[in-house]
Amino acid sequence: MSASMSAVGLDVQALRRDFPSLDQQVHDKPLAYLDNAASAQTPLPVIDAIRDHYLRDRSNVHRGVHELSQRATNAYEKARVKVQRFLNAPSYEEIIWTRGTTEGVNLVASSWGRANVRAGDEVLISALEHHSNIVPWQMLCQQSGATLRVIPMNQAGELLQDEYERLLTERTKLVAVNHVSNALGTINPVREMIAKAHAVGAVVLIDGAQAIPHMAVDVRALDADFYAFSGHKIFGPTGIGALYGKKALLEAMPPYQGGGDMIASVTFEKTIYNDLPYKFEAGTPNIADAIGLGAAVDYVQKIGMDAIAAYEAELLSYATEKVAAIDGVRLIGTARHKASVLSFEVVGVHPHDVGTILDREGVAVRAGHHCAQPVMEFYGVAATTRASFAFYNTREEIDQLVGAIGKVKELFG
């Protein structure tokens, strides 16, 4: 085992060389990038895949008979199959390219929701949701006359499963919950939650934005009806993501948007829609970034999702112990099952001040409400400071974080 090998066998120093952006100074300090839950860094193979597309194959997809268009189409569709296999989805037809998790949720709320949700029905979300898994359902409920219900949580940030069971009734048409909370890091027991929802006939959407970079996701084993994620959280480009949906559901759903590529034929009298997945992909897609996301999926699979999860569990436990031991620091979110997120407050100091001082020490974190204002309200804070880890982070970077929090206390003590 080389000196840079972790206890679980990840050669972190070697992996870091794939991420040139990690190797820089910020305010004359070495960068400790601990804002991965917002956007992770991008490795060279992903950058190369995008570059290769622009250098060699740049053209539109599904439209040209010429060589460049054929090559671009092949690479683009190959990337879809990579995502399909990564999620263990039965068919490539069930993978729809989106701009990210937000668009995936909006697609389901607009298309499935408008076709299936009526006055008197209920949509069930949780107290842990990101705004993008709240607002589209609120909009749907306002339009349809349905009622939005919320699964409550405890002080640790765990959803109350008995309350969940109580809220599930024959009126529940859809359950939308995240796999991992972005504000607290709680891993929700989605497999069991999906089974319970199915028992009352409800359809389930899982917001996988924060789970996808940290653990193996198997949509078949979960029996998820819809699973949405974003490319930029899994070391891929921004502006691209994917939505998995069960074929039977997708086939029965009306299109989300109208335009080119989503049609089989158009006359002024009638349009026949294209087959899956293209029915949901109107207009020229984000070709280069879909290819980049395919490369990102290859990249993490090469490392191994289980190895990533094991290494990050070690890192989170080290960070939790170190940060919790600092006098005057309160951890926010202490669920038994957590992934890669450490939210905290330095008592008496505004998180924006904490974030700014940490930045001066080279430590990049997110300070704010994390687009999860109901979570902040639950804990009675306007915002938290959030450190979030990826497999390329190290114990030394966590020590740097701890030292920087010490600086905050020195300045505000």
Q: Which is nearer to ligand C6P, 12 or 38 (CB)?
A: 38
Q: Which of residues 281-300 bind ligand C6P (CB under 6 A)?
A: none
Collect contacts of 327-330 with beta carbons under 8 A, ≥24 apart: 327/409, 328/409, 329/405
Identify the residue among 106, 111, 178, 393 touching ligand C6P (CB under 6 A): 178
Q: Is residue 371 among the annotated active site residues?
A: yes
Indicate whether 263 belongs to the interface with ligand C6P (CB under 6 A).
no
Binding residues with ligand C6P: total (CB under 6 A): 17
| Binding mask of the shown chain, residues 219 to 258, with x at each position contacting ligand C6P by CB under 6 A | -----------x----------------------------
Q: Which is nearer to ligand C6P, 234 or 309 (CB)?
A: 234
Minimum CB separation from ligand C6P for residue 379, in Å? 16
Piece in contact with ligand C6P (CB under 6 A), picked from 4-12, 26-34, 135-143, 207-215: 207-215
Indicate whether 207 belongs to the interface with ligand C6P (CB under 6 A).
yes
Indicate whether 37 belongs to the interface with ligand C6P (CB under 6 A).
yes
Q: Can the peptide bond before residue 43 be classed as cis, meaning omega within 30 degrees of 0?
A: no
| Binding mask of the shown chain, residues 99 to 138, with x at each position contacting ligand C6P by CB under 6 A | -xxx---------------------------x-xx-----
Piece in contact with ligand C6P (CB under 6 A), picked from 12-20, 54-62, 94-102, 163-171: 94-102
Minimum CB separation from ligand C6P for residue 189, in Å? 16
Indicate whether 212 belongs to the interface with ligand C6P (CB under 6 A).
no
CB atoms within 10 A of CB 399: 14
Indicate whether 340 belongs to the interface with ligand C6P (CB under 6 A).
no
Q: Which is nearer to ligand C6P, 173 or 370 (CB)?
A: 370
Q: Which is nearer to ligand C6P, 82 or 366 (CB)?
A: 366
Q: Which is nearer to ligand C6P, 6 or 230 (CB)?
A: 230
Q: Which of 157, 180, 179, 182 is nearest to 38 (CA)?
A: 182
Which residue's CB atom is positioned nearest to ligand C6P? 182
* Residues facing residue 261 across a β-bridge: none
Minimum CB separation from ligand C6P for residue 366, in Å? 5
Element (H, E) at 230: strand 226-230
Q: Which is nearer to ligand C6P, 158 or 207 (CB)?
A: 207
Look up tokens 């939308």; give the residue: 176
Cα separation values, 307 from 14, 72, 114, 320, Å: 15, 33, 41, 20
Q: Which is nearer to ligand C6P, 359 or 399 (CB)?
A: 359
Cα separation values, 90 from 20, 72, 80, 192, Å: 36, 24, 12, 21
Minimum CB separation from ligand C6P for residue 178, in Å? 5
Beta-carbon contacts of residue 170 (< 8 Å; ≥ 6 apart): 200, 201
Element (H, E) at 203: strand 203-207
| Binding mask of the shown chain, residues 364 to 403, with x at each position contacting ligand C6P by CB under 6 A | --x---xx--------------------------------
Element (H, E) at 143: helix 135-144
Q: Do 331 and 405 contact (CB within 8 A), yes or no?
A: no
As to burial, measured by CB atoms within 10 angstroms (0-12 exposed, 13-18 middle, 19+ buried), residue 25 is exposed
Sheet of strand 366-368, all strands in order from the earlier edge strand to the far edge: 329-331, 341-346, 384-388, 366-368
Minimum CB separation from ligand C6P for residue 354, in Å? 16
Piece in contact with ligand C6P (CB under 6 A), picked from 203-211, 298-306, 316-324, 331-339: 203-211
3-class SS of residue 227: strand
Look up tokens 């029915």; give the residue: 279
Question: Of 371, 381, 382, 402, which is the active-site residue?
Answer: 371
Look up tokens 């951890």; give the residue: 331
User: What per-residue string of b and e applies to 212-227 under the rule 16 or more CB within 10 Å gives b?
Assistant: bbbbbbebeebebbbb
Residues annotated catalytic, as ranges: 371
Residues in contact with ligand C6P by CB under 6 A are 37-38, 100-102, 130, 132-133, 178, 182, 207, 209-210, 230, 366, 370-371
